[in-house]
Amino acid sequence: ISEIFDGVPIYRIGGDEFVLFLQGKDYLKRKFLVKTMNEKMRKNRDKNLLVIACGMAEYTSEDGCVEEVFERADEEMYADKYALKRGK
């Protein structure tokens, strides 16, 4: 994670779940960073190396609380986890 999200604080929020809060230049290139992470994980999967599922969500004015952002990110992460297991 820290190789791709260089200098971004990483917080462990439970067992094997982590959260990153992007800001500044990292926020501006958030889609590129997630794409890079996903590409790296697919390569790792193909080489039988460590694989991490990833999900991202952005806080919007429609969100009532931060928990809604976490829920969307969690849904994306589980979709990515499923895709990784299916070889996609």
Confidence category of residue 53, pLDDT binned at 50, 70, 90:
very high
pLDDT at residue 10, rounded to an integer: 93
- Predicted model pTM: 0.85
Q: What is the pLDDT of residues 67-84, one digit of tens each?
A: 999 999 999 999 999 999
Burial class (CB in 10 A: 0-12, 13-18, 19+), 56: middle
Instruction: At 34, list the tokens.
Output: 């997630």
Each residue of 18-43: pLDDT tens digit?
A: 999 999 999 999 999 999 999 999 99
